[in-house]
Chain A
Amino acid sequence: MKKDEVPQDLSSLGKITKEVCYATDSSGKYGKALSDGWDVKISALDVAWGDIEKRIAAAKQKVLDNEASPLLFFMEYRLMDAAILAGYTGFWQWQVKRHLKPEVFNKLSSQKLQKYAEAFNVSVEDLKSMTVHED
């Protein structure tokens, strides 16, 4: 890639930091060049987030239909699978999976709820009501 071909399509990262690429000058010598982003990868990231949004919406509906506990919603929202959530809370994976059932979740002690709330970086109230604040 030549230095004058380094793409400069402003990405959400580009607003915070430019990224280093390695590119050649007119004599073919490599050096660092800064890029604001590239639309090819901006749209790749958009595709990934579009999929995540869909999963979050589907999870929310399941919780509203009483087919899953709010944990499912927050797991999708925080991109966590049972293994990651188990890691953050200290529960076993089978416990996490059990807590995904609304009837089990509703009987959880406030201590256990607190662990989940911490893992998701929300308050216990918000955890129960599926409320999210942008952070």
Chain B
Amino acid sequence: MKIEFEHRQGAHCESGVTSNLLYNSSGGKITEPLAFGIGAGLFFAYIPLIKVNNGPAIAFRTLPGYIFNRTCKSLGIPVISKKFSSKEKAETYLKERLAEGNAVGCQVGVYYLPYFPKEYRFHFNAHNLVVYGTEGDNYLISDPIMETPQTMGSYELERVRFAKGALAPRGHIYYPKPGAIITDDTIKEAIKSGIKKNVYNMLYIPGSFAGVAGIKNTGKKIKKWRDKLGLQKAGLYLAQMVRMQEEIGTGGGGFRYIYAAFLQEADVYLPGNQLAEISVLFTNAGDMWRTAAVHAAGIYKGRLGSQEDFNTMGNYLMEIAEVEKNAFLALKNIKWT
């Protein structure tokens, strides 16, 4: 059994799933960058108290689940979302949705995801994919980061839907209520609202762990990593940061390029608001993150390692913070026409 659903590869799992699930309602208008921007996906947070793979938690995007929920809400589409304590009930529910003709999003862990190469399997539980049918005993899977559709057996799917650890998915299944119609006017309002929310998240969350302040603060901390952690551990931390920033699912440059693409597309819906010009600032920020990543690689590969090198690393982040601050201030100051 197969549902009318076309697999489209994306850069990021959640915005990819969101865009793909909304494809029919929106006539393909909700592209991945639009979903990312309307969902206010761009973020930065540095949370040293939470350890991920023995390094600090560093995020370049917003909380898992936020993009899908926010995008649907802004577009006026009700979301149906369910978690389970019973594996059997979770599978029955999935089968019923498929029988009704609904493709559904599932939150999964990547550790036991069969089509992922071993090197990429960590206990990361906020991956997203779409189940869009069955074929014999297998489920048809559209994973946005893969070029082609995949299949998974019932046990394999159950295992990743019930992965354990931080952010355990507990069979989380979600899909937009079918039959919604998305007009251009709705999209325009949703874009404005997404930008507003992102401005808040990057500029006005109190404290120094999140947003632009978080980037600046991380830059300051990096300068002390060499003394505080020793060269080897500091290298591990930097490698971790680069992975969160550039690894599969980011679209490059710590999601800054997806956001720049979003602003360009938004400019077509809302011309005369300088969105295309502001988009260039985010491209610059993405490029700077990548320059910083090259420098970080010099350190964790052992080519660099002096205190001066760590100062340079920290300064990169402080410069980025300044660029992103100005970019978000420009967005904040738009008088919408």
Q: In the complex, which residues 1-53 of chain B have their Cβ closer than 8 Å to any Cβ of chain A? A: 9-11, 33, 53
Where chain A touches its partner, the secondary structure class is mixed
Within 8 Å CB of A45, what residues of B?
119-120, 239, 243, 247
Question: Cα distance A30–B247 when bound, in Å?
Answer: 20
Question: Cα distance A81–B117 when bound, in Å?
Answer: 21
Which stretch of A58-66, A83-91, A99-107, A122-130 is in the interface? Answer: A83-91
A-B contact count (CB 8 A): 127
Shortest C-beta distance, B295 to chain A (Å), equals 10
Asked if B198 CB lies within 8 Å of chain A CBs, one says no
- CB atoms of B53 and A79 under 8 A apart: yes
Question: A12-26 vs B: 1/0 string, CB under 8 Å?
Answer: 110111111111100
Question: A72-99 vs B: 1/0 string, CB under 8 Å?
Answer: 0000001111011011100000000000
Within 8 Å CB of B147, what residues of A?
17-18
List 8 A-B residue pairs with CB atoms under 8 Å apart, sorted by A's residue number. Answer: A1-B253, A15-B117, A32-B9, A38-B246, A40-B290, A48-B239, A79-B53, A121-B112
Q: In the complex, which residues 213-262 of chain B have their Cβ closer than 8 Å to any Cβ of chain A? A: 235-236, 239-240, 242-243, 246-248, 251-253, 257-258, 260-261
**How many residues of B are in contact with the other chain, CB < 8 A?**
53
Asked if A133 CB lies within 8 Å of chain B CBs, one says no
Within 8 Å CB of B122, what residues of A?
79
- CB atoms of B117 and A13 under 8 A apart: yes
**How many residues of A are in contact with the other chain, CB < 8 A?**
43
Within 8 Å CB of B87, what residues of A?
none
Asked if B294 CB lies within 8 Å of chain A CBs, one says yes
Question: Cα distance A63–B242 when bound, in Å?
Answer: 33
Shortest C-beta distance, A13 to chain B (Å), equals 6
B33 CB contact (under 8 Å) in A12, A17, A30, A84: A30
Question: Cα distance A30–B122 when bound, in Å?
Answer: 31
- CB atoms of B164 and A88 under 8 A apart: yes
Closest B residue to A33 using CB positions: B252
Asked if A112 CB lies within 8 Å of chain B CBs, one says no
Shortest C-beta distance, A134 to chain B (Å), equals 8
Q: Beyond A20-B11, A48-B243, A87-B165, is A30–B264 a contact (Cβ under 8 Å)?
A: yes
Within 8 Å CB of A1, what residues of B?
252-253, 257, 283, 286-287, 290
- CB atoms of B112 and A23 under 8 A apart: no
Question: Cα distance A46–B140 when bound, in Å?
Answer: 32
Asked if B146 CB lies within 8 Å of chain A CBs, one says yes
- CB atoms of A80 and B145 under 8 A apart: no
A13 CB contact (under 8 Å) in B53, B148, B248: B248
Question: B103-117 vs A: 1/0 string, CB under 8 Å?
Answer: 000000001100101
Question: Cα distance A84–B280 when bound, in Å?
Answer: 42
Question: Cα distance A18–B290 when bound, in Å?
Answer: 19
A-contacting residues of B (Cβ < 8 Å)? 9-11, 33, 53-54, 111-112, 115, 117-120, 122-123, 145-148, 164-166, 168, 235-236, 239-240, 242-243, 246-248, 251-253, 257-258, 260-261, 264-265, 279-280, 283, 286-287, 290, 293-294, 296-297, 300-301
- CB atoms of B243 and A41 under 8 A apart: yes
Interface centre among A20, A29, A48, A135 (most CB of B within 10 A): A20
- CB atoms of B246 and A41 under 8 A apart: yes
Question: Cα distance A13–B122 when bound, in Å?
Answer: 14
Q: Beyond A20-B9, A22-B252, A51-B236, is A43–B120 a contact (Cβ under 8 Å)?
A: no
B119 CB contact (under 8 Å) in A12, A19, A39, A84: A12
Within 8 Å CB of A135, what residues of B?
118
Q: Beyond A47-B239, A48-B53, A51-B236, is A22–B117 a contact (Cβ under 8 Å)?
A: no
- CB atoms of A29 and B9 under 8 A apart: no
Apart from A1-B283, A83-B165, list 9 A-B contacts with CB within 8 A: A13-B248, A16-B146, A19-B145, A19-B248, A30-B264, A38-B246, A40-B297, A41-B243, A44-B240
Within 8 Å CB of A22, what residues of B?
11, 33, 251-252, 257-258, 260-261
Within 8 Å CB of A48, what residues of B?
53, 236, 239-240, 243
Within 8 Å CB of A12, what residues of B?
117-120
